[in-house]
Chain A
């Protein structure tokens, strides 16, 4: 018997992965959640039919969204993770013993429960004593916060579903307000390749530019995501992602990674010409 899961990338492109077993499927208050087992990508978390992460390549995404700002900001104590109920970002964060507080805002309690049961290697990080999980709407949570965090990581899947609110100008504005005066905000910035996502890429970049003085985009290669080429946004009130990079300091922390590396850090901000052009398109309006 053959069973295949297809992640729809565009109307005309999909990625199909052969599935050995469907481990879990349920509809929560917020969304439908599925966990699949595959030979090539290991366990796969699927939300509302969209591939969220695979055991095989999640480390790339989670390392890149976490260690880039951590190697720049000299003294991160308070971190806010928006989304991130799978625990991947938190797993990377708790590698830093200087971090004192990690607030995770994940609207869906079922997602956390499912991840802890089926992908404990990732989600058990959420039991760390520094972690507080808030099951509420991200926009509602952020509205009441001011001058509270050193780092905000926006780990929200896509700009079309339940997390749409986390891709808006009002959200970025309230994040700015929630950060300390030298705070950094990192967002997953979609893929620049397919037309629809490229448009979202531009919109996000434009909105963040309107809000933060320093805005740079960096990239990573994530095989299971549409086009495999993924962008992240680095928005900051004070620190520059390259000029303020402390390569030696980060190395001395002795943190184990499989993708991130300070030498790589310097390279990921160098973008392909077509991506530069895409971003410059909205930068010029300013």
Chain B
């Protein structure tokens, strides 16, 4: 990374120039620097609406960058150690989808852990590729899915030598990393590409003593949620590519689904945030790690909570752990994670990232201060004092290994019928069901519904998880395939 160049922010600078020139807008957007929508100006402020502008020569065009966006991409590529970087405005969802669509077509096989974000399986619905799932390892006490074991990934590769790519979470929502370097080596030996979902890994590129980033590990394409740990505006993201990936092809794929009116608020936020991380990221993330370590110590002192950290590392399915992640196991106070999540919000005015059956995750970032961490820790102490109860009968298992019957695309578009949830056991689901967040499907299109899954859905709903995916918004009914015999389509789950 060339530090002196990283002080530039070409999109931001072009916008500043544009503003100073007081250009008269006879183009879209129609609010014309906010004048046509005073209430919007009151909400967002003059500065914000004045840079909500359209693509034009001095500001470049996201679909075909030739000037300032191109420069911003080059600076981002340099900052992230990538060959090429693409500015994304449709969230990391669009980055993950573009990454998969760029290397898979109908019928191609792609190896991935089953605890992927829904956006990855969505891409398979769109392109018709066939997932070869690797069951992630599971921590029995915490109930969470971990990374993939090396031997499981390698076995999947050996049994599917025709697979075109392997997708890896780097890290998972809980901050757990698989052995990315080993997976990259094995995949490249077999001529497969490695795609990394780094929705939760932006800081790996800038901090010291953090898990390896996808580009450093030699992965081919990575989707990086700049708006999560990177500090840019919601929905803005980067797609990174390594050596040997043709940027022109990736651009074409992105342009299949990405808006032609990319927001300059999002683009400039990517530009400024990249500059900030390149110049100050190392120091900032050192502070975030210190804050998370402090919080872990204090929370573990309360007793009955378990804020887990690097002691989990096992050399394989927890090859590395992101120390900025603050996940807390809550079952020993007799409350599901989702219940603690709700109590913290409703009674203590503390909003955390998510709660699942046995854990909560508090997201720490460059915007956090010690005083808010003190509030969280103190609230957890008070919550335990008031609510602690026996934990008998509490479910903990977050991950259920799927039975895959059909590809996501075939099942999504097949003839289907709607059945009450409790009558669906043994049938093949044609839609997604997941708790959101974290957005990892418990059922994806083409998977068999089992009693265990139905119990999970009923229990999670009862505990207050926000379930999404199905057509029926109350999740009382599910769409299942008509006339489909349940038969696994081969060696698909490892």
Q: Is the CB of B375 within 8 A of A168?
A: yes
Partner of A137, one of B302, B348, B374, B381: B374
Q: Is the CB of A140 within 8 A of B374?
A: yes
Encoded as 1 (CB less than 8 Å from any B CB) or 0, chain A from 196 to 208 comes to 0000000000000
Residue A171 interfacial (CB < 8 Å): yes
Contacts of A168 in B (CB 8 A): 348-349, 375, 378-379
A111 to chain B, nearest CB (A): 16
Encoded as 1 (CB less than 8 Å from any B CB) or 0, chain A from 127 to 147 comes to 000000000010110110000
Interface residues on chain B, size class: 10 to 19
Q: Which residues of A from 145 to 176 have beta carbons under 8 Å from B? A: 162, 164-165, 168-171, 173-174
In the assembled complex, the Cα of A171 lies from the Cα of B379 at a distance in Å of 8
Chain A's closest residue to B386 (CB) is A173
Given the contacts A139-B378, A143-B381, A170-B378, A162 and B371 also touching, CB distance less than 8 Å? yes
Chain A's closest residue to B376 (CB) is A170
Residue B40 interfacial (CB < 8 Å): no
Chain A's closest residue to B385 (CB) is A177
Chain A contact residues, majority secondary structure: helix
In the assembled complex, the Cα of A134 lies from the Cα of B387 at a distance in Å of 30
In the assembled complex, the Cα of A162 lies from the Cα of B378 at a distance in Å of 16
Q: Which residues of B from 310 to 360 have beta carbons under 8 Å from A? A: 347-349
A142 to chain B, nearest CB (A): 7
Contacts of A139 in B (CB 8 A): 371, 374-375, 377-378
Residue B422 interfacial (CB < 8 Å): no
Q: Is the CB of B347 within 8 A of A169?
A: yes
Q: Is the CB of B375 within 8 A of A170?
A: yes
Contacts of B349 in A (CB 8 A): 168-169
Given the contacts A169-B348, A169-B382, A170-B382, A164 and B377 also touching, CB distance less than 8 Å? no
Q: Is the CB of A173 within 8 A of B371?
A: no
Q: Which residues of B from 359 to 387 have beta carbons under 8 Å from A? A: 370-371, 374-375, 377-379, 381-383, 385-386
Contacts of A164 in B (CB 8 A): 371, 375
Partner of B382, one of A140, A162, A165, A173: A173
Q: Is the CB of A170 within 8 A of B348?
A: yes
Q: Is the CB of B378 within 8 A of A174?
A: yes
Encoded as 1 (CB less than 8 Å from any A CB) or 0, chain B from 380 to 415 comes to 011101100000000000000000000000000000
Chain B's closest residue to A168 (CB) is B375
B287 to chain A, nearest CB (A): 15
In the assembled complex, the Cα of A282 lies from the Cα of B494 at a distance in Å of 56
Q: Is the CB of A165 within 8 A of B377?
A: no
- Which of A137, A162, A177 has its CB near the most chain B CB atoms (within 10 A)? A137
Contacts of B375 in A (CB 8 A): 139, 164-165, 168, 170
In the assembled complex, the Cα of A145 lies from the Cα of B480 at a distance in Å of 56
A138 to chain B, nearest CB (A): 8
In the assembled complex, the Cα of A80 lies from the Cα of B386 at a distance in Å of 23
Interface residues on chain A, size class: 10 to 19
Contacts of B302 in A (CB 8 A): 143
Q: Which residues of B from 285 to 326 have beta carbons under 8 Å from A? A: 298, 302
- Which of A140, A162, A170 has its CB near the most chain B CB atoms (within 10 A)? A170
Q: Is the CB of A143 within 8 A of B377?
A: yes
Contacts of B379 in A (CB 8 A): 168-170
B384 to chain A, nearest CB (A): 10
Contacts of A142 in B (CB 8 A): 378
Q: Is the CB of B374 within 8 A of A174?
A: no
Contacts of A169 in B (CB 8 A): 347-349, 379, 382
Q: Is the CB of B378 within 8 A of A165?
A: yes
Contacts of A177 in B (CB 8 A): 382, 385
Encoded as 1 (CB less than 8 Å from any B CB) or 0, chain A from 247 to 260 comes to 00000000000000
In the assembled complex, the Cα of A169 lies from the Cα of B379 at a distance in Å of 8
B342 to chain A, nearest CB (A): 14
Contacts of A170 in B (CB 8 A): 348, 375, 378-379, 381-383
Q: Is the CB of A137 within 8 A of B385?
A: no
In the assembled complex, the Cα of A171 lies from the Cα of B377 at a distance in Å of 11
A167 to chain B, nearest CB (A): 10
Chain A's closest residue to B294 (CB) is A140
B130 to chain A, nearest CB (A): 50
In the assembled complex, the Cα of A139 lies from the Cα of B370 at a distance in Å of 11
Q: Is the CB of A137 within 8 A of B347?
A: no
Contacts of B381 in A (CB 8 A): 143, 170, 174
Contacts of B382 in A (CB 8 A): 169-170, 173-174, 177
Chain A's closest residue to B347 (CB) is A169
Chain B's closest residue to A163 (CB) is B371
In the assembled complex, the Cα of A174 lies from the Cα of B380 at a distance in Å of 10
In the assembled complex, the Cα of A181 lies from the Cα of B443 at a distance in Å of 52
Q: Is the CB of A137 within 8 A of B370?
A: yes
In the assembled complex, the Cα of A143 lies from the Cα of B384 at a distance in Å of 12
- Which of B302, B382, B385, B386 has its CB near the most chain A CB atoms (within 10 A)? B382
Chain B's closest residue to A144 (CB) is B301
A270 to chain B, nearest CB (A): 31
Encoded as 1 (CB less than 8 Å from any B CB) or 0, chain A from 103 to 121 comes to 0000000000000000000
In the assembled complex, the Cα of A271 lies from the Cα of B190 at a distance in Å of 80
Contacts of A143 in B (CB 8 A): 298, 302, 377-378, 381
Chain A's closest residue to B382 (CB) is A173
Contacts of A210 in B (CB 8 A): 347
In the assembled complex, the Cα of A225 lies from the Cα of B371 at a distance in Å of 26
Contacts of B377 in A (CB 8 A): 139-140, 143
In the assembled complex, the Cα of A142 lies from the Cα of B348 at a distance in Å of 16
Contacts of A140 in B (CB 8 A): 298, 374, 377-378
Chain A's closest residue to B379 (CB) is A170
Q: Is the CB of B386 within 8 A of A137?
A: no
In the assembled complex, the Cα of A185 lies from the Cα of B302 at a distance in Å of 23
Q: Which residues of B from 111 to 151 have beta carbons under 8 Å from A? A: none
In the assembled complex, the Cα of A143 lies from the Cα of B348 at a distance in Å of 15
In the assembled complex, the Cα of A142 lies from the Cα of B385 at a distance in Å of 14
Q: Is the CB of A165 within 8 A of B374?
A: yes
- Which of B302, B371, B377, B383 has its CB near the most chain A CB atoms (within 10 A)? B371
Contacts of B371 in A (CB 8 A): 137, 139, 162, 164-165
Known contacts A168-B375, A168-B379; 15 additional CB pairs below 8 A are A137-B370, A139-B375, A139-B378, A140-B298, A142-B378, A143-B302, A165-B375, A168-B349, A168-B378, A169-B348, A169-B349, A169-B382, A170-B348, A170-B375, A177-B385
5 chain-A/chain-B pairs, Cβ below 8 angstroms: A137-B371, A139-B371, A140-B298, A140-B374, A170-B381
In the A-B complex, the 6 residue pairs with the smallest Cβ-Cβ separation, listed nearest first, are: A173-B382, A170-B379, A139-B374, A139-B378, A170-B378, A170-B382
Q: Which residues of A contact B (CB under 8 A)?
A: 137, 139-140, 142-143, 162, 164-165, 168-171, 173-174, 177, 210
